[in-house]
Amino acid sequence: MRPVVVFGGYGAFGAHVARELARLGHVVTIAGRNRGKAEAGAAGLGPQHHAVAADVADPVSCRAALAGQSVAVSCAGPFSAQGEALLHACLASRCHYADIADDRAHCARVRGWGGRFREAGLTAAYGCSSLPGLSGALALLAQEGADAPARRARVALFIGNRNHKGPAAVRSAVRGMGRPISAPQGNLKGFADPVVVGLPPPFGRRSLYNFDGPEYDLFPALLGVSSVVVKVGFEMRIATRAFAALAALSSRYGDRTGWLLAGLGALSSGIGHSGGAVMAELTWADGTVRGAALTCAEDGQRMAALPCALAASALASGEPSRAGAATAYELLGHQGLLEGMARRGFAPLRL
């Protein structure tokens, strides 16, 4: 059970990853730019855990933080601005890599490093979160037993209102509003094209909008589909409509808008659920639809963080791994990933 360093391990998702790794018996080092927060996070895990000041974008501090580690976990968003310093450091230090990114460009960047990690006998596990980690596993579950590939795939991500919304996550979502999304079937527009999707309880029918995710790049080869759509929505209907209205007006939103929306979201943070849902649906040529979902009324952020903890634990424990770049469902197998989720209280539903 070798040690693991978690960059951003005191953040909303990073703290869940760090706690799960500690529960699994790993010695965890919390790394971040704020040493005080890192030390507080490590202290909360227990006396055997550590803290270090490090910036995921700085090669020197990354190398220092990786000394003696087996896996570097990146939970320090936004991934769109993260760069490649940690990937460089992992190769130089002969350390596996895992992240919770749902940023499409970042996931493509890590895949581009796959050859170098493979040559070094290392793994770069990317997208170990709701998208594309859980969505891919659920899509493969829905596909089981089919005689032919599906034609279309639709992914739904639904976020409960009482989930903590960090400014970095909100700013990342804001940057996609109104912007073009390249899909296998043609260009889409970010946070446009509303559809009403029937989500499992307790959420029910909700309007969801276009979101740019790694599935557009991954699902055609994974599932044989020719059409992919990723949809997202928030429990507060007014928040979903506000994002849609802003997307209809412009595509040139930046950090100021993100900070403003994060502040407004904080005002209503006590309403609703802290859970959420991830759902994948496949449609065949004859109209057959199959789906699978993970849903919870509470602990949605823990559900999203668990794939990263499971992937990092497998790498740190020396379990048979897949050298090169891999998603969580490729590294663990989709059944292995979903079984790990079920053992922690998040069992998949077949639809």
CATH classification of the domain holding 229: 3.30.360.10
273 and 322 in a common domain: no
In what side-by-side order are the strands of the sheet with 50-53?
50-53, 28-32, 4-7, 71-74, 96-99, 123-125, 324-326
Domain boundary among 300, 315, 340: 300
* Of the candidate ranges 12-21, 115-124, 148-157, 312-321, the one whose mean pLDDT is the lowest: 312-321
63 and 50 in a common domain: yes
Residue 102 has pLDDT above 90, yes or no: yes
Residue 113 has pLDDT above 60, yes or no: yes
CATH classification of the domain holding 119: 3.40.50.720
pLDDT in tens, 220-255: 999 999 999 999 998 877 777 777 777 676 666 555
143 and 66 in a common domain: no
Average pLDDT value over all residues in the chain: 90
212 and 119 in a common domain: no
162 and 93 in a common domain: no
98 and 245 in a common domain: no
334 and 273 in a common domain: no
Domain boundary among 268, 284, 300: 300
139 and 72 in a common domain: no
Give mean pLDDT, residues 190-200.
93
212 and 122 in a common domain: no
318 and 335 in a common domain: yes
288 and 164 in a common domain: yes
pLDDT band for position 176 (cuts 50, 70, 90): low
Question: What is the SS3 assignment for 272?
Answer: coil
- The answer to whether 150 and 283 are in contact (CB under 8 A) is yes
Residue 88, domain extent: 4-129+304-350
117 and 181 in a common domain: no
Domain boundary among 300, 324, 342: 300
Residue 142 has pLDDT above 60, yes or no: yes
Residue 265 has pLDDT above 60, yes or no: no
* Of the candidate ranges 86-90, 158-162, 167-171, 247-251, the one whose mean pLDDT is the lowest: 167-171
How many domains are there within the chain?
2
Report the pLDDT value the prediction gives residue 267, as an integer from 0 to 100.
Answer: 47
What percent of the chain is predicted at pLDDT more than 90? 77
In our burial notation (b when 16+ CB lie closer than 10 A, e otherwise), range 293-323 reads: bbbbbebbbbbbbbbbbbbbbbbbeeeebee
